[in-house]
Structure 1
Amino acid sequence: PNPTPLLHWYDVSENNLVGEIPSSICNLSSIMGLYLMMNSFNGTIPECLGNLSSSLLYIELQKNNFHGKLPKSFAKGCTLQSIRINNNQLEGSLPRSLGNCKDLNLLDIGNNYFSDTFPNWLGYLDQLQVLILRSNRFYGQVNNSDVKVSFSRLRCIDLSHNNFSGYLPVNFFENLHAIIREGHEKKSKPEYMINTVLNGK
């Protein structure tokens, strides 16, 4: 269904809808919430969603059949608070322009085909509390001594089912409220993070 230009909230979640995201979405200059989750949508995510991020608060596209890459450019005045695009077929790397979304508190990109090193730069987002990267193709060490970030408000992280190596630095996630197993004997660095389930989604 095509939304009207003055729409603030667009919710067609949990149906049996198919096809691509309608191009008329790009005309919604005042949209605050886009909820398309749990359908059978396909195609790519329109580049214009990055331009709409100065009004958007919530992007909920999880559990569809979207493929391709995320929009390259998120506006400098990005107001996004929550992005859930898990359980699709998305690939590539996370665009650095997500760093413009200073109010982002939840990012769930689990169960896709993203391939990149650990996005340390997300640690500059002071409001980020939930970060789900599970079941992708991320690789390399999480600890990067060249990047001085703290993830100061992070409460939940899921890195499971990727190709990460090395240790999780203790002071990197100092405020974390998830369950951590620190390994045997006197090892001070966490080795494993338990899987996290958010609201069954």
Structure 2
Amino acid sequence: MKIPFFSWLFLLPICTLFVSFGTFVVSGQCLDNQRDLLIEMKNSFIYNSTLSTKLVSWNESIDCCSWEGVTCSDVGRVVGVNLDSESISGGLHNSSSLFRLQYLQSLSLADNYFSGSMPDSIGNLKRLSSIRLSRCNFSGSIPDSMANLTQLVFLDISSNSFTGPIPSFNMAKNLIWIYLSDNSFTALSLNGNLLEGVLPKSLSNCTYLEVLDIGNNQIQDAFPCYLKNISTLRILILRSNKFYGSVGCGRKNVTWPMLQIVDLASNNFSGKLSLKSFSNSKAMVADNKTQSEFNYLQYQTRVLLFRYDGGGLIDFTTSRYLDAITVTYKDRIPPSLGKLSQLESLDLSSNKLTGEIPIQLADGLIFLSVLNLSFNQLVGRIPFIKQFATFSEASYEGNRGLYGCPLKKECTSAEPRSPPRTFEDIHSKSGLLIDWNYLSAELGFVFGFGLIIGPLMFWKRWRIQYYKHVDDIFFKIFPQLYLLGGKYRRIRANRNGVQRH
């Protein structure tokens, strides 16, 4: 039965009322997929049911938004999970359904007994603003994926067994609270913030610390002598702050045993600089008898000066970033320099470098804008590719054994180049050299002409049938051509009839 238009106008408010009522009833109830993820997470956990107060109460017959420890949004999405002190043990795996709760904003698993490392999948929960994982027995390094949590405001991962460097949270612009105490971190970088006041003396308790970078802040304090007792400290970056007073801690009980790099630039230090303050820093001196490893080049971001006369190669395989490097070095150029893909300036001039220029340099240093390999003892052809194809002759001068572009000097190796073959050499008495590329084209032309073009030219019946088939194909595709063809045939027939009479 057709409903009149005015009846539709009458029924519209009633339908709207029913839809609104249904929406009101459903609002706030847990969505099925959210409930399934929570149940899957519960089943994957190992926990003591006699000590648990939250997980044991989760029942599928009850709306999951009313479960203890679960918080939902107005539309039934899980936005908060709090399972503190639930006696959960075992590992938390990347495949856990916990990391598929895409709308989760708050996660608290404190005071449990997890084992192993924190999963990388935590970086999938991009809406997280609060994380509380203190006293969870986690170990290993903090996942770099946590840098993806741009909405993070509160982070507490204290009292675990985390080791290694702290990942960069430069994307978390709203991060206000961060608790990292009672761990075993080896690197702490707070570079490029607006930190003020004095440097906390509690840093001396970080006995595993290898790198401390607090550069580019507004810290106003004296030189931190209390850090000298950290036996593992290798890198100390204090540049661009407001440190004042004298540098050093006197000669009494001087330590800094492992210190390799110190950056004190752009501060307010005064007085004389006494190198005796770092007299125990034997790690700054390269051992000529062993291979030297420089694993912290990423913390020297402008110019790094090496004066090294050892016979071994420098190991750059673990280095991540460096703008410019000047090296005083003998022996061969280490191919591992090519690992510094962000390198912009490389000066190896006036050394005693021998051997060829490693192809790894030309292939890996894609941002190199300045190169100076002059006045060494390098030999071989210059790898004229990528950035190395942009440098002038001055970058390679003073190396008698180098040849090739951009040098005017050609190959001078002991093996002479063979002269180009002449026509007489090719067609010599020893036999005729056949170029099959040209011959195949000639044979193809002959066979094609003989099989197709020849019969069309010399066999009339073949030619008439060929034209007829071509016309039929065109008439099927373009019917209007058939009409024009019929008109043309009638005119031609009339003319032929007139000529006969």
- Is 2:129 aligned against 1:24? no
The structure-2 alpha-carbon separation of the partners of 1:154 and 1:3, relative to structure 1 and needing over 3 Å to count, comes to farther
Q: How many residues align?
A: 175
- Is 2:90 aligned against 1:90? no
Q: Tell me how far 1:63 sits from its aligned partner.
A: 4.0
The runs of 5 or more residues in structure 1 that have no matched partner are 179-194
The answer to whether the 8 Å contact 1:117/1:140 transfers is: yes
More relative contact order, 1 or 2 (CA 8 Å, 6+ apart): 1
Query: Larger % of helix: which?
Result: 2
| 2:168 match | 61
| 1:122 match | 227
Q: Tell me how far 1:106 sits from its aligned partner.
A: 1.0
| 1:190 match | none
Q: Tell me how far 1:146 sits from its aligned partner.
A: 8.1
Which of 211, 223, 228 in structure 2 is aligned with 1:106?
Answer: 211
The runs of 5 or more residues in structure 2 that have no matched partner are 1-103, 286-298, 302-318, 323-501
Per-residue CA deviations over 1:129-148 (Å, capped at 9, x if unaligned) read 11111112221111233863
What percentage of aligned pairs have identical amino acids? Answer: 27
In the alignment, residue 321 of structure 2 is paired with which amino acid? G
**Rounded Cα–Cα distance in structure 2 between residues aligned with 1:163 and 1:130:** 20
The secondary structure found in structure 2 opposite 1:56 is strand
The structure-2 alpha-carbon separation of the partners of 1:124 and 1:56, relative to structure 1 and needing over 3 Å to count, comes to same
* RMSD between aligned residues: 3.9
The answer to whether the 8 Å contact 2:251/2:277 transfers is: no
**Rounded Cα–Cα distance in structure 2 between residues aligned with 1:93 and 1:113:** 9
- Is 2:138 aligned against 1:33? no
TM-score in terms of structure 2 length: 0.29
**Rounded Cα–Cα distance in structure 2 between residues aligned with 1:100 and 1:18:** 34
In the alignment, residue 23 of structure 1 is paired with which amino acid? I
Per-residue CA deviations over 1:51-71 (Å, capped at 9, x if unaligned) read 43x512132336455788986
| 1:184 match | none
Q: Tell me how far 1:127 sits from its aligned partner.
A: 0.8
Q: Tell me how far 1:96 sits from its aligned partner.
A: 1.8
Per-residue CA deviations over 1:59-113 (Å, capped at 9, x if unaligned) read 2336455788986x943xx422111221222223222222222121111111222
**Rounded Cα–Cα distance in structure 2 between residues aligned with 1:147 and 1:67:** 41
The secondary structure found in structure 1 opposite 2:185 is coil
TM-score in terms of structure 1 length: 0.64
**Rounded Cα–Cα distance in structure 1 between residues aligned with 2:277 and 2:320:** 26
The secondary structure found in structure 1 opposite 2:284 is coil
**Rounded Cα–Cα distance in structure 1 between residues aligned with 2:266 and 2:185:** 27
Query: Larger % of strand: which?
Result: 1
| 1:185 match | none
In the alignment, residue 226 of structure 2 is paired with which amino acid? W
In the alignment, residue 196 of structure 2 is paired with which amino acid? E
In the alignment, residue 60 of structure 1 is paired with which amino acid? P
Which of 181, 190, 196 in structure 1 is aligned with 2:300?
Answer: 196
The structure-2 alpha-carbon separation of the partners of 1:87 and 1:61, relative to structure 1 and needing over 3 Å to count, comes to same
**Rounded Cα–Cα distance in structure 2 between residues aligned with 1:153 and 1:70:** 29
Q: Tell me how far 1:118 sits from its aligned partner.
A: 0.9
Paired residues for 1:92-171 under 5 Å: 92-145=197-250, 148-171=253-276
In the alignment, residue 93 of structure 1 is paired with which amino acid? V
Moved more, 26-35 or 152-161: 26-35
The secondary structure found in structure 1 opposite 2:277 is helix
In the alignment, residue 278 of structure 2 is paired with which amino acid? F
